[in-house]
Homo-oligomer: A and B are copies of this chain.
């Protein structure tokens, strides 16, 4: 129950795009219609009016505009069955623009190509040993793979409206740079160079869990409810990621705090980032193994932990092995303490767990609860609702799609 209020400053003339008078409004309505079409498939004139709240006459004007630009098209009407003038359906024009989506994970890079309707046209995935490759190699690989995707669909580079890249780790989204990741460590990657190969595309670089939070928010927040809703996505696995999504006054804002390497316990166990006492150094897979096998906590942790190792450990914990139980409990404890801080600094909101680590949630839940309860905030507001979410990669993909398409819409509305 922290205390938040957004405030229109409205000082000075110039916040960037001080566009001539009433045209701002038109753009807003263009986007409104486009996003209604994106969310609810093909819609008729009347449907659009209902969905957007715009007057019928306005819908005519706006759709005509969008049709002229080529962003939407009229579909051949199906046999309606009812009587009366048959409705003509408007739909986004699939070939208006395309989006390439790149999901970088520790052992594989997945590429997807989607059309303007959000349909996945093609996909490639390439296993690679990231730890071995340099940053330049990674950029080259991405450029090559995206070019291949385009070529396979007989598209040219100019058809690419957006290129959206996600990874775990710390990202400077404004500068489109990957600042730190578990596998690449201090080798920073500046994705801006990709724009040389795809100059027509907008580039987005996002933290993966941010996208997960975005997708979860889109799925679960009712747009009707104007109140501020929010949620946390917490990704458990080799590393720990966290994303916060909140709806404030019609705008969904999402952020990816640096949770995994937030200080948890000073002078505590060594993390692979080189710091001590990170959340991840207690709750990441390598950390759980380290605790379970009583490896000295200052040992430099393994880069990769095969999942079967973790499964074995979990089985042995469930069969009563005290040390294994303790390791999972400690992981839960760190997560709970960290979450309590995030909730203190924001407000209490539901938490959705994703990632490989969710399968061990039963072993961590007690520790998590204990960690959470250690703060005043939780004592005042109670425990947050914690649920387990669906497939992480799929959620992240949805997040990619929603954000890139929205960005393309925005650009389309700019003329």
Q: Are the CB atoms of A345 and B342 closer together than 8 Å?
A: yes
Work out how many copies of this chain go into the complex: 2
Q: Are the CB atoms of A341 and B263 closer together than 8 Å?
A: yes
Q: Are the CB atoms of A3 and B255 closer together than 8 Å?
A: yes
Q: Hey, what's the 0/1 contact readout for A136-152 against B, CB within 8 Å counting as 1?
A: 00000000000000000
A132 located at the interface, meaning its Cβ lies under 8 Å from any Cβ of chain B in the complex: no
Q: Are the CB atoms of B337 and A7 closer together than 8 Å?
A: no
Q: Which residues of B contact A28 (CB under 8 A)?
A: 10
Choose from B170, B271, B380 the contact partner of A1 (Cβ within 8 Å).
B170
With known contacts A3-B206, A374-B263, A36–B11 Cβ distance under 8 A: yes
Q: Are the CB atoms of B262 and A345 closer together than 8 Å?
A: yes
Q: Are the CB atoms of B11 and A403 closer together than 8 Å?
A: no
Stretch of A116-124, A171-179, A321-329 lying at the B interface: A171-179
Chain A interface size band reads 35 or more
Q: Which residues of B contact A170 (CB under 8 A)?
A: 1-3, 380
A306 located at the interface, meaning its Cβ lies under 8 Å from any Cβ of chain B in the complex: no
Q: What are 6 A-B pairs at a CB distance below 8 A?
A: A8-B31, A10-B31, A10-B250, A11-B39, A14-B53, A261-B344
Residues of A within 8 A of B (CB): 1-16, 18, 21-22, 24-25, 28, 31-32, 35-36, 39, 51-54, 170-174, 179-180, 206-207, 210, 214, 223-224, 226, 228, 247, 249-259, 261-263, 265-267, 271, 273-278, 333, 337, 340-342, 344-346, 371, 374-377, 379-380, 403, 406, 410
Known: A7-B406, A262-B375, A266-B374. 9 other contacts (CB 8 A): A1-B171, A1-B258, A4-B256, A8-B251, A11-B36, A255-B346, A261-B344, A263-B337, A276-B374
